Structure 1
Amino acid sequence: MLSEDLQESKTEEPPDLHSSLPELKLWKVTKLQEWLEKHKLKKSGLKEVLVNRVYRAMSGYMDSDPDSSDESLGEDLIPVHEISNWKTLDFSDIPNGLASKDVDGYFLYQKNPTTGARLHFDRQMKKAKRLCNEGFIRDILYSDLSDFCYIKSKCLPSMKQSVSIGTSGMTAKFYSLNVCLGRKFGNIFNARCNCKAGGAGLCAHVGALLYTLVKTKDSCTSSECTWDRPRPLQRKPSPARVCDITFTKTEKETQTKKVRPYPGIYQAGPIKEIQNETFLDDILKGLENAYPQCVLYQTLRFENANIDPFLELFYPDYMFCDFVSLTHDTCVKDFTHFFDNLKVTDAISQTLEEGTRGQSVNTNWIKARKNLITASVMGEVYKRKKLVPDNLLKKICGYVTVPDRVKSIKYGRKYESVAVSQYIQKHTNECGNTTVESRGLLVNPKYPFLGASIDSLVTCNKCGVGLVEVKCPYGSDSKKEPWRNKTPVECAKDTNFCCNEVDGQLELKDTSNYRYQVQGQLGVYELNWVDFVIWTKKGISVERINFDESTWNSMLQKLKEFYIGCVIPEIFTRRVERGKPLY
């Protein structure tokens, strides 16, 4: 009985080289699984499947024809851990026959040892190219033995600070990998990595090393190699906004460009944000050459002007730290001194007005108004009751803005030119020849801390010179008929509307912020009247509002106090901008 067991054990012992299929069928399942596990192959399945898997694996290991290649294997490969004469790799050590297509084929044309089916390692190949291009391979060493080139290196982990080594549970800062190449033609004979998927030599880390060798060989031989100085472990990128960063993948698949059906014909469509300025410049240049008198050109055009002399007026010579009490007498004195020394000359005022035409589409206009109390917020400043000015400062200094996608904003900008055109027609019918011009941001040298951006400046022989302020009320969509779909008189019946109806005509409410806006515009422009226009899809209303000197003087005092007590302290500290309370 014992002799039979010994004979069976002797029969099941795997041969050194290759066993036939009948011999493998005599192996026990446990022995088949041990052999598969030793060779990093799948060990699950029925015995028949395991037998075929082992047989194909053995056939694959021994299936080599020395006569099919000029490089004879002559002698067995030497285990890497037994090699001691390592040196730093030089580009001349890399076999000339190694090419990128060979590495691609190494990943794309592997065979399953069990079924013989062709396997594709596309994902590992793509990741390998990314690791190569981003410099994850480092410390490449070379050993020259007989007809083989042994190359080993380290590969930085792509995400973690430390990595698990195989199935041992140990960790390391790098993956260790090696490849064996034919010296003459660069054949890839063997590859290993100590990552969990590197036993078969088909992981992304091995591919990264192979692609790095190809890249180094193909680089300029007159310059030093850069693979031995990869990107640093601790990256120190420069600060950047997320919207300015482009995230791309290596070897991104190229998509076929869509062919325009009619390439010679303009096709309307939304433009990208980065194209806005170029697009606007092209439109304005075309209008200037074709028809400079058109309303669109007169509205959007603006002169290229340097407004830095104006902006520099609001740069303090020093800043106050956060621990400084801004109510201290020294601070208050400095703020008052800064206010008293604000001097805007006529030349600066004219350059500013011309250089900010186009208003919201002009970056100069956006920059300049951040240092001023503009007419649109004068009502809020005048009626302010809260002692904490932070939220109002955010609005004045441009820290928060209303998004352009808000329906009421889009609606107002869309129909403002329509309202101006109807106003011109109405005024012309009543007074004869009428001229309406667009203007930029005006700062009166008398009031260097205030600014006014009007919709239009109107001139006629009968009325003289005045202003036009247009409102296109949008209304709430929750109501059956929003303001935009009513006549102006019908809108006035709503208590939330800015105007009252008096004898069939609209009158702006005294409590409305628009009242202080138009008075501020008249005060800055030093004019006597403004036509306040309410336009809806169902009609237009024009109210002539005269300058009220007593209201202006009362506004001026409060505006000055707020500017000295709140705006200037923010200029000296930028606390609100940094999310800190001003006081």
Structure 2
Amino acid sequence: MLKSGLNERNVLYRDKLLPDARKRYLEKMAMIGNLDPYEVPSRECTRDPDDLPPLTFPDIFVYLVCGVSAYTEAQFRNFKSMEAHVQFTNGWVHDLEAYKSPSCENTVVRTKVMHSQRLNEPPLKPWVIVSSAGKVECAHCTCMAGIAETCTHVGALLFKLEATVRIRGTKTVTDVPAYWVLPSNLSKIHPEVGYRINYTSSVAQRKTLDQRINMQPTAPAIRSRAQKLKTPPGNLEDLSPLLDTLLHHSKAVGLSGMEKYYAQYTQHTAAAPSSALPPCLAKSLYDESIDARDLSAVLLACEKHINAVSVTEEQAVAVEEYTRQQHLSSAWYDYRSGRITASKMHAVYATSLERPSHTVFTQVCYPHIQHTVSTVQTRWGISHEGDARKAYTESRAAYHTNFKIEPCGFIINSSFPEIGASPDGLTMCECCGKGCLEVKCPFKYRSCNIQQALDMKDKDFCLQLSSDNLQLKRHHRFYTQIQTQIFVTQSNHCDLVVWTENDFTVVRVFPDQEFWEPRLQKAQEFFKKVCLPELVAKYHSKDMQPHVPSEKEQ
């Protein structure tokens, strides 16, 4: 809140704040080298999207909902600001300006946001401070609720920043990022005839924007009324070819009530007895009576649950059978919660145990949050996994004796139950023994063949040529993922299938004990020092406010 009765001429914005708000404002300034975001000249800022911090949708959720207020020490839980996307899609948010102080790793991003009701008033000026890892450290706005740091104008800024970063991530070697799909800035509202006005709802506008960012076809915003056609009544016999097509190519639940098709909808998932299944860590360990800010109490509680992650061989088998639908099963996410999975092992090995990346521990402890985010890359991989598997099976069957691929669920190794893996299949043949399968359909190289992808010399591409043979790069995150799958499943090897529309290849990867041992040790330490305190008391997510040095420390 602002002080009243002050002569505003030559008075700094922060000096007009009440004492508590001004103290907090100075703390936020300390995060960017004691600079006031409102005093940084525009000529020293950049509007280049490549200079923006890597913000993602989970980062917005973690800040607006799970973040902690500096005033009340309670979680924000501002679900209303999660709806601020409407201000962004309507064009109320102006261009983003970013400034990174040479003395710290944080970046301040600021903009102007139009009033949604009072259009003739000067726009509001929100800003956010984001770390180099994408964590939202704090925020501010000149609106009445701005000192609370989670107003809708801050939310609208975050959504525009996330959309801009997402477009930047779809850039390829030959394509230019399509920043033009972002809503244009509105500075003044002009009258318009009714039939030219877009009456599309905010939900539909957001869906259309996501489709454009993901390079999917969209319907026109303004539609013309179609003429009514006289259609003769149909019957089930006429619809039979259509219903047969729906049965094989979609999840048409309406067919489950028809006599001809109901048998196809019988539940075939493994009904594991509840006594054989271990408890889910995220559901069984949390104790809300523990003060998350009392480290000694948290550590004492963790000692009592140090063996909660252990499973027997029977329980491990039951979990694997019960989760074979993988991402289509809620139980798959439940048993992944709190365990370091193969796909997260690379990030866990790279993060600090003392100050772990909030993105990493959030994805490990709460994988269902990431599940809510769907990108064109993930949808491409999922939709073409069957094509890659078919090509792999046909190429291997002729050269292996009694070759077969079995589906699998979430696999936990009872020797190190803190870790789990969900390969795309388990392979078996008399000549090579047990193996696992990992399929990759890289969206970035979807139109290339493997040689073209190699010629790009892109560090993100997972393969390289060595002595005229294709190899998986040892420093690539896929190598860490596959080594984890090999040791968790106790396989002799893993076949990596890299598939594009024009080509595919198979690279066999063997166990690398020297590579695996330090990562196993780091993952077990990460579980004890990071996952367990978070699962028991939400120690890390409740303590999201960064440390600001006191005057003595400075």
Q: TM-score, normalised by structure 1?
A: 0.47
Greater fraction of residues in strand: 1
Q: TM-score, normalised by structure 2?
A: 0.49
Q: Which has the higher contact order (CA 8 A, sep 6+)?
A: 2
